[in-house]
Amino acid sequence: MKKFCGLVIALVVVMSACAAFAKPDDVIKIKLAAQATSGQVFQYLAEERGYLKDEGIDVQMVYINNGTDAFSALSSGQVDVISTYGTGGPLIQIVNGQPFTIFGGYMIIGETPVYGLPETEYKGLESFKGKKIAIMRGGTPDIVLKGILYDAGLLDQVTFVELKKNTDVLQAIMKKEVDFGSTSTGFQVQARQWGLEVKMWPDEVWKLHSCCRMLSKTSWLENNNEALYRLIRAYLRAEEDMQDEMPHIVDLIVEKLDIAKETAESFVLSPHMIYDTDPYKNSVFKMWDKMSKFGYLPKDPSIKLEDHMNTAIYLKALESLIKDYPDNAFYKAKLEQFNKNNI
């Protein structure tokens, strides 16, 4: 009798688990572009844990390091989604007429340090007065730093030197062609090897400045809501696992991108890098406003950012996970976060 009762209890547990999560019968394919310097950590963990398979989604990663090429690939339909190309770049594309829609996030802040030579003095934003700063135009480091200087009333007192590559920025500092320079994620080890040091962290001044957003062509999104719903569910499940497993994420990055462990650790474990799937609509609007004020976005009243933001798919995915796992504290906290940052 005891054995029979045990079998009944076990059966009930299994049936409850099955009721909590219904696996789709079909598989939807998505081509997703990301930079090979930082990758897509949600993708790697969701793949490893079987979450993509659970959700019936098959993701093909396409690595494109140049933002311009990534936007062209998205526009032409060579990829369906892009994820690691900042917020400012997509906003510039949108205001220039590209029919793109932001629907989720990858990083809400990214590692965008301002470097200088050890002997270069930095005591605060006033130290930038009259100085030359090397930058890659349109990238997150460029837009965030200019937004900070604009708010401080210092933007017109700084000379920006626009270069093509992050390594060019570092070399310009080394050669004393500029006083400071800011790069995107993944160059801290190289900068240190070249004798440079971090002088300022922009995210400490502009909190939740909005870094990499996930976006697709608006027409593709409208016809593929189910695909993105499944993708976000898988990525949210991976994001939950990540909370206590960042050293493992380092190993995944090293394996997937074939980069040195020291480089992966420098950004994955950095307190200046926050991975987050939330769309952070409010932060995107704030960046749109700042970029408009310092002249990066031409004023065209016919283009409304609201028409290029979709938070409904993310919310549907999150609420479905809360329904499937009603006792899960992480998903409940994510809903509170969503309500705070997307109204």
| Per-residue DSSP letter, 170 | H
**CATH 3.40.190.10 domain locations along the chain:** 2-109+212-341, 114-204
- Please list the rounded mean pLDDT of every run of 10 residues in the chain (343 residues): 46 46 89 90 97 98 92 98 95 95 96 96 97 94 96 97 95 98 92 97 96 97 98 98 93 92 91 96 96 87 93 98 98 98 93
Strand 180-182, strand 132-135: pairing: parallel
Fold of 2-109+212-341: D-Maltodextrin-Binding Protein; domain 2 (3.40.190)
Fold of 114-204: D-Maltodextrin-Binding Protein; domain 2 (3.40.190)
- The Cβ-side half-sphere exposure at 43, using a 13 Å CA radius, reads 25
Would you give the end-to-end CA distance of the chain in angstroms?
56
Q: Which of 23, 21, 31, 53 is nearest to 224 (CA)?
A: 31
Rounded to an integer, what distance in angstroms lies between the CA atom of residue 81 and that of residue 102?
10
- pTM, two decimals, is 0.90
Helix (H, G, I), strand (E, B) or coil at 342: coil
Q: Which regions of the chain does DSSP assign to beta strands (E)?
A: 28-34, 57-63, 81-82, 100-105, 107-109, 114-116, 132-135, 159-162, 180-182, 197-200, 213-217, 274-275
Please provide residue 264's backbone torsions phi and psi, each rounded to the nearest 5 degrees: -60, -45
Note whether 196 and 169 are within 8 A (CB): no
- Per-residue pLDDT at 126: 97
- Per-residue pLDDT at 78: 98
